[in-house]
Structure 1
Amino acid sequence: MGADADGLVGYPMVEEADATGAVAAVYADLLESMPFVPSLFKSLALCPGHLLLAHEQAAGVLSHPSFAEAAQQLVASVQDAVRPPADAEVRAALAEFAEPLSRMLLLAAGLRIALDGDLDAPPAAGEAPQPRPVRPRNPAPSPQDAPAPRLYGRIRAELETPIINSIWRSLAGRGLLEAAWNDLGPQVPAARATADGLQRRAVEAARRLPWQVAADPAALEQAGLGDARPGIADVLGAYLTTLPRVLVLVASSTEHP
């Protein structure tokens, strides 16, 4: 763990501008289909060897129709959990993140199941993609650079998480974070039970996805990362807890089908 500019403790991340070697190769590969690298991958990048394994596990399923369908179902299941913000610009900005958050929730669940040795798939080999420049189309500002460190502290405290997800950082960079949190923050306690239920459904859905390889204990041992397993478990556990709490707040801003 580390501390941000205001002394708040949280998980550090490897930002796009700081990525080198295998981390940069994974980031460039992710950016072919994403506007920026999700915070989940930035946190996993603190252990580059596991990032390679996680990326390999993710790559085989992210484009599968069943993955997209499961992500959409998670969003739909919590669309009425909270009252959406009144400001139309804030709602539109939040809605952009609903599907990415649900996809990262499924991925965090799948990676944690794999780490526990409960995923029935061959071990990932952890082969890095070709190195290329890391050029995000819409990078989220880092916690140090974004103009909201004190509000980040409130978000961490109210969500009970060490993580500041990319959504909050992006909103801060667009000048929308305070307005969004003024509406959503007071609803966090009432939404907690819904978030807990969403977490359970995400784990169940992740078990049914067609994973082709697994970042499992055997893969970690083959990569010489056996000692890193407890730390990786902590990071994945934090995301598996945090992402449902955030998605419950964001899904209310999406349009009903």
Structure 2
Amino acid sequence: MKSKRGFYLPIVFFSILILVALAPSAHARADEAADRFKSLMEQGWALEGQMHVDLANLDRAIAVHKEALALAPDNDEAMWRLAEVIFKKSEEVTDKKERKTMVERTILLAEQALAVNSKSVGGMYWAGTAYARLADMSGLFSAAGQVKQAKAYLHQAIDTDPNHRLAVLSGVILAKIYSESPWPIKDMEQAVDLARWAVAKDPNLTLASLTMGRILLAKNETAAARTELNRCLTTEHPTYVWDAVLYDWPEAKTVLAGIK
């Protein structure tokens, strides 16, 4: 009698042929997904970079980064990039409840990025910056814990990679925290050191020169403050032109106008 096992051989052989045929197409789909992800990340950054031209670009950037995160749900950069544009959008929202929700969403995404990659400087920076903003919006009792969280994340960013662009920005935010907070957090020497470090790291970072100018003014070093604020205003190639146009240059002009 012929063994029934023999009937399975053609089926197994045919199945192997199908798997071999499908392997290249699966690889091609993976490449397409990777290319799409890269394209979305670049689109999101480009849209954010045009927020000073049209603030609606922030909404477009959020949509693009959400799509990127859906493609790569475990990618830490996709998480903190979405956190970044949501935070940027929150700065333009006037409703306090909505704004707070967006800042909290920023923290959630940034901390998720850190859960995936504990060395994510982007996660550290946006978690720290969002906690600092939340402290601004909270009562005194809540703010103390939030400032502590902000400082921890921002110092961690600098310690992890001091040459990362967001580590430099971490130094600026820390300088603002140390110079603008009440005692016992207030530490003007620490603020000066951090602001000078950030300015030296990136002379074209207008937020750094603005912050340096404000700190010098608070220390009654008026001439030095005026020089730094004017340098901010004459920066030809700002690192973040959108921030310079929307926030840093207008504030520098206001501060300069108030100097006696």
TM-score, normalising length: structure 1: 0.23
TM-score, structure 2 normalization: 0.23
Structure number with higher helix proportion: 2
Structure possessing the higher radius of gyration over alpha carbons: 2
